[in-house]
């Protein structure tokens, strides 16, 4: 396989191999660029995946220390696990469920549509839905999203059937088995879904799209892309003119290496990307790289989430088949009459017994809890994905006390729910309970949000350099050749699972970077 010299300064260095980094790497390699992807985690292929929740978590999840603050309940229940995301080649696309939704037009322009909301730092994106539509289409084709490109939707499992029956009783109109980046029939040399029920543990069929076995090997096949696993970026360097020149990283043995670069892209997901920029402070960039606006690390969003689990008098076996097996979209509209701005989706979700024990009601014990676990096979469940509002004080900072094994300060994640988030969550909980009660639930649970699986907004896009970190291409306002290529670019979160948008932005960004390279601008 191709390897590049540490001193080769003609390569694009991408930090992170997930949805953003993996896609950008392949797209650039296809356009003739030379690419080095630095990935902090190891490379675990499909054959290594295990249908076992804790064992898989140990294999793939980011478990290096992070710290927390703020009034969100995660800080109390999981003080060192603010987020459930991945440290491995493929990033969180190994764990993800596959739900792939396009933003609505108003979700790109929240300041315009929602107005000024106290405590929220709303802004319009510098791009519109119309500009992104062609890239959404390419992303859907690349990822094989069901319900697009003539790809049939997946069959509904038991958990979906309960959801759908309840949705119908409540009078909802738009519900189906979703737009999923999961093969409903063999496609792109990958098998179809066999309803294993372990989508969160790495799909052992390879039916679910992940950069691990799509983008990355496709890029490697060009001979122009090298993935370096177990390589943790610590600092981005620059020259006197303020151009990024390379990345210092710790290799598998903990030795520091310096990879020179023509262009640097940061795609470490929304906690690690700002951490890296803040840790790259220098005399020229005293508050952190690309941070003249002071917005690096701010406006952290995690979606307004929560689950409703319902117990029935008869069996459901919700764990059989796709984890996210269907969606109700009726509540995703912006309709302030409900008492909040923005909207939410209801999507089925199922956890196995090990994770259910940990997440159903963290801290609970006694017969109230065990009687719920005894009803495990009679449970159905859904997850709320709602738009949460960006707030300046919800932010990632460098922890001044805790360092990782490379001596790099760990990320501290501060989060307070906004009034709008709380009102939305309450509404969604009520709708979820009503839906299940309408089809005979005998007991329902409002389950508190899990550690964040969606992490967004900490290097936001803005038209004006003073309001954000990157421009409409994801290029840092402050540097000519530094890009952000993950969900931290998001100006708003929308009532959508984020990955399709991350991939669409990465395809668009690759075109832009390749064009600039061809024109000799970088």
Ligand X SMILES: Cc1cc2nc3c(=O)[nH]c(=O)nc-3n(C[C@H](O)[C@H](O)[C@H](O)COP(=O)(O)OP(=O)(O)OC[C@H]3O[C@@H](n4cnc5c(N)ncnc54)[C@H](O)[C@@H]3O)c2cc1C
Footprint of ligand SF4 (CB under 6 A)? 182, 193-199, 203, 205, 207-208, 321-322
Torsion of CA 21, 27, 28, 31, to 10 degrees: 180
The interface with another protein within residues 179-238 (CB under 8 A) comprises: 193-198, 204-205
Judged by CB, which is closer to ligand SF4: 420, or 497?
497
The two beta strands, 482-484 and 263-266, are parallel
92 binds ligand X (CB under 6 A): yes
Neighbours of 54 (CB within 10 A): 14
Q: Interhelix angle for 419-438 vs 158-170, to 10°? A: 100
Contact 343, 333 (CB under 8 A): yes
DSSP for residue 489 = G
d(CA 205, CA 224): 28
Which residue's CB atom is positioned nearest to ligand X? 18
Whole-number minimum distance, CB 203 to ligand X, in Å? 12
In three-state secondary structure terms, 334 is coil
The entry of ligand X, ligand SF4, another protein, none near residue 87 (CB within 5 to 8 angstroms by kind) is: ligand X
Nearer to another protein, 58 or 256 (CB): 58
- Binding residues among 447-506 for ligand X as defined by CB under 6 A: 453-454, 486-487, 497-499, 502
For residues 68 to 87, the per-residue mask of contacts with ligand X, x marking binding by CB under 6 A and - elsewhere, is ----------------xxxx
> Can you tell me the distance from the alpha carbon of 520 to that of 522, in angstroms, rounded to the nearest whole number?
5
Distance of closest approach, residue 370 Cβ to another protein, in angstroms: 5
Instruction: Considering only the stretches 18-26, 158-166, 348-356, 390-398, report the one whose residues sit in contact with ligand X under the rule CB under 6 A.
Output: 18-26
Determine, following the binding rule CB under 6 A, whether residue 381 of this chain makes contact with ligand X: no
By CB under 8 A, the count of residues binding another protein is 50
Q: Which does 424 bind (CB under 5 to 8 A by kind): ligand X, another protein, ligand SF4, none?
A: none
Close Cβ partners of 462 (under 8 Å, ≥ 6 residues apart): 123, 126, 293, 295, 468, 469, 470, 471, 477, 491
The residue within the footprint of ligand X, chosen from 29, 232, 351, 411 (CB under 6 A), is 232
Under rule CB under 8 A, which residues in 4-33 are in contact with another protein? none
Residues 255-274 within binding reach of ligand X (CB under 6 A)? 267-269, 272
Residues with Cβ < 8 Å from 298, sequence gap 6 or more?
121, 392, 393, 394, 395, 458, 460
197 CB contacts (<8 Å, ≥6 apart)?
A: 319, 320, 321, 322, 323, 350, 352
Distance between CA atoms of 246 and 397, rounded to whole angstroms? Answer: 23
Residues in contact with another protein by the rule CB under 8 A: 50-52, 54-55, 58, 155-158, 161-162, 164-165, 167-169, 193-198, 204-205, 314-317, 319-321, 352-354, 356-358, 363, 365-367, 369-370, 373-374, 376-378, 439
Residues in contact with ligand X by the rule CB under 6 A: 15-21, 38-41, 84-88, 91-93, 95-99, 200, 232-233, 267-269, 272, 276, 324, 453-454, 486-487, 497-499, 502
């Amino acid at each position: 396989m191709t390897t590049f010299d540490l001193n080769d300064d003609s390569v694009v260095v991408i930090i992170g191999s997930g949805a953003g980094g993996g896609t950008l790497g392949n797209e650039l390699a296809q356009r003739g660029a030379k690419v080095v992807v630095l990935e902090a985690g190891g490379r675990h292929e499909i054959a290594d995946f295990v249908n076992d929740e804790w064992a898989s978590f140990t294999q793939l999840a980011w478990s290096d220390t992070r710290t927390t603050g703020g009034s969100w309940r995660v800080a109390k229940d999981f003080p060192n696990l603010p987020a459930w995301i991945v440290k491995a080649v493929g990033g969180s696309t190994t764990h993800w469920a596959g739900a792939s939704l396009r933003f609505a037009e108003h979700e790109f322009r929240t300041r315009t549509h929602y107005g000024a909301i106290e405590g929220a730092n709303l802004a319009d994106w510098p791009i519109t839905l119309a500009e992104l539509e062609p890239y959404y289409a390419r992303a859907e084709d690349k990822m094989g999203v069901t319900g697009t490109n003539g790809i049939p939707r997946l069959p509904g499992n038991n958990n979906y059937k309960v959801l759908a029956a309840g949705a119908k009783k409540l009078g909802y109109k738009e519900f189906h088995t979703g737009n999923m980046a999961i093969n409903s029939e063999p496609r792109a040399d990958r098998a179809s879904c066999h309803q294993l029920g372990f989508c969160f543990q790495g799909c052992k069929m390879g039916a679910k799209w992940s950069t691990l076995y799509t983008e990355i090997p496709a890029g490697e096949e060009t001979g122009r892309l090298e993935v370096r696993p177990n390589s943790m970026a610590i600092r981005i360097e620059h020259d006197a003119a303020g151009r990024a020149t390379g990345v210092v990283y710790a290799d598998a043995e903990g030795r520091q290496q310096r990879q020179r670069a023509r262009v640097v892209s940061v795609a470490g997901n929304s906690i690690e990307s700002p951490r890296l920029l803040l840790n790259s402070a220098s005399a020229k960039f005293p508050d952190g790289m690309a941070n003249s606006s002071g917005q690096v690390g701010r406006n952290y969003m995690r979606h307004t989430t929560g689950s409703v689990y319902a117990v029935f008098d008869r069996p459901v076996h919700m764990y059989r088949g796709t984890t996210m097996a269907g969606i109700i979209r009726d509540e995703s509209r912006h309709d302030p009459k409900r008492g909040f701005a923005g909207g939410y989706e209801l999507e089925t979700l199922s956890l196995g017994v090990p994770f259910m024990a940990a997440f159903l009601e963290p801290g609970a014990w006694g017969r109230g809890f065990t009687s719920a676990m005894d009803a495990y096979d009679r449970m159905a469940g859904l997850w709320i994905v709602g738009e949460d509002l960006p707030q300046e004080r919800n932010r990632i900072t460098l922890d001044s006390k805790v360092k990782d094994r490379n001596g790099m300060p760990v990320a501290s994640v501060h989060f307070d729910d906004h009034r709008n988030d709380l009102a939305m969550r309450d509404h969604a909980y009520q709708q979820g309970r009503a839906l299940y009660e309408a089809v005979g639930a005998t007991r329902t649970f409002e389950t508190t949000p899990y550690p964040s699986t969606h992490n967004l907004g900490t290097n936001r896009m803005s038209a004006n350099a003073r309001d954000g970190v990157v421009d409409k291409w994801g290029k840092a306002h402050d540097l000519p050749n530094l890009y952000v290529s993950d969900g931290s670019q998001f100006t708003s979160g929308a009532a959508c699972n984020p990955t399709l948008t991350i991939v669409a932005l990465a395809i668009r960004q690759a075109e832009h970077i390749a064009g600039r390279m061809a024109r000799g601008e970088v």
